[in-house]
Structure 1
């Protein structure tokens, strides 16, 4: 049998794994490193400050840097938070606060966005309303709390009205800015395609202004919680602000910090939801 016949009969060996990596343009580190590790590293780096703060909160009372009576360890506050959840008290207070905040924020959005779009498009309307808007937007919402209570009473209406007032102006001003800063070339191109004024606004102006509008919406989301909690501390029988004040007055310090932690988590959750909504409504934007 000839040597060429033996070569044909010999089995063909698969290339070594290194050959596959070389052909694919991959290094050994890229092949061996799981894909989730870079993402995990980014999460840990982003959470480093929070973890350090939590560790300091836990350790400082235990080693005597602060009085544990007035600042209990984080684990003690989390235990009080778990007790509030299991007893159902936290659910009651959280539901009351979220209802007030969401209703007030919704009313503010429903009124501020159309009015802001009108002011942004009409110079005459802007000149007419600008003095009144400048007067009220520079007046702190909490300074008007006694006025709202006197006119609307101490019930739910005054609290929701205060949230509406606090959320209205950030959304209004961002809407005006967003409408006024739409690319003129984009509007000119849309008009050349024969779009009517209403179509031009709904299909071009409003979508282009969404990123700027949501800057104000996110500010309003934070303001809705901050203002509401302050209002609940003054006159309420339910809500996160009432929970914090009642716990402080009864010297239930861990429960007080549990309420504060809940308020912070609610603020983070609202901001995350608004960020998600912004991404969904502005999917046309290039991702960075």
Structure 2
């Protein structure tokens, strides 16, 4: 009878007591029955799901808040110089550091800009300039990019046309403005044509340089795969040329606005260049500065759009898993 009791309590040492091996299930049960002792090993089993989605939602909210705070701080740091310039612009004329007749305070310029925007004049002039600028810019990019890819792909053609391209690149577009006016008149054709001419060269030369400076290692690897020329151009040359091509396109975007303003000062009846020129003649200095600020804002916005487009295309052309 005692042996049965010993077996039940796990203390029996006789032949009737079950012999257990260290680490077996029986040993674990016996150790648990003996009372407090060393902490048992962590049991691996199914983990209970968290109650609700509050932690994950809170984590997302905290992450969003951190990103928003970081973005606000970054925007504040990047705008310090602009704010300092505006403060200097406002205080210098009021402290008579400059003649406020020729440089009115920024607040007066802002009032003039608001009045132009309220009566619709600013919108009319802006739309006229944007239509000319974007038309010329689009034509230049549509012609210069394929032509640059073609010239850069055929080295003999690039060597043949290189000197001629250098001559035209170093001829300022504004220097040819009287020629365009004499040949095409003072209408819309001459203004769009001068924009096309000014924008074509940065895009064309950047594209040619991009094609001719592709990494030779990529070319050797592609040729080792026996890719046909058309496939080599599509899979290697064209993706590798995208960053340099967009550099030329961004330069052309800035040039399209600047050249157009100068062209609109001759024989135009609408446009931001006409607004600036007419305001100067009528001695409406705040309106003149309002037109200049509008041109600067358009240039910055256009450049940011091209940067975002470049990032989108750059993400698209990135190799999968690379």
TM over 0.5: yes
Residue number in structure 1 paired with 2:196: 164
Matches within 5 A, 1:93-104: 93-104=125-136
Residue number in structure 2 paired with 1:151: 183
Residue number in structure 2 paired with 1:107: 139
Residue number in structure 2 paired with 1:222: 254
Larger radius of gyration: 2
Instruction: Work out which of the residue numbers 81, 87, 91 in structure 2 matches 1:55.
Output: 87
How far did residue 196 of structure 1 move? 3.1
Matches within 5 A, 1:167-186: 167-186=199-218
Counterparts of 1:154 and 1:40, CA distance in 2: 47
Instruction: Work out which of the residue numbers 265, 286, 310 in structure 2 matches 1:233.
Output: 265
Residue number in structure 1 paired with 2:308: 276
Counterparts of 1:59 and 1:210, CA distance in 2: 45
Counterparts of 1:83 and 1:187, CA distance in 2: 59
Aligned residue for 2:203, secondary structure, equals helix
Counterparts of 1:228 and 1:270, CA distance in 2: 15
Q: 1:35 to 1:132 in 2, by over 3 A?
A: closer
Residue number in structure 2 paired with 1:25: none
How far did residue 161 of structure 1 move? 0.7
How far did residue 45 of structure 1 move? 1.2
> 1:237-270: CA deviations, max 9, x gaps?
1111000011111111111110000010011011
Q: Is 2:308 the counterpart of 1:264?
A: no
Residue number in structure 2 paired with 1:11: none
Residue number in structure 2 paired with 1:19: none
Count of residues in Structure 1 that have an aligned counterpart in Structure 2? 258
How far did residue 209 of structure 1 move? 0.6
Aligned residue for 1:235, secondary structure, equals coil
> What is the TM-score normalised by the length of structure 2?
0.76
Residue number in structure 2 paired with 1:38: 70
Q: Is 2:291 the counterpart of 1:254?
A: no
Residue number in structure 2 paired with 1:17: none
Higher relative contact order (CA 8 A, sep 6+): 1
Instruction: Work out which of the residue numbers 167, 171, 174 in structure 2 matches 1:142.
Output: 174
Q: 1:78 to 1:285 in 2, by over 3 A?
A: farther
How far did residue 192 of structure 1 move? 4.2
Q: How large is the Cα RMSD of the aligned pairs? A: 2.1
Q: Is 2:156 the counterpart of 1:116?
A: no
Q: Is 2:84 the counterpart of 1:84?
A: no
Counterparts of 1:164 and 1:269, CA distance in 2: 20
Q: 1:253 to 1:280 in 2, by over 3 A?
A: same
Counterparts of 2:207 and 2:314, CA distance in 1: 15
Residue number in structure 2 paired with 1:208: 240
Give unmatched runs, 5+ long, in structure 2.
1-34, 36-61
Contact 2:186 2:266 in 1 (8 A): no
> What is the TM-score normalised by the length of structure 1?
0.84
Counterparts of 1:194 and 1:94, CA distance in 2: 53
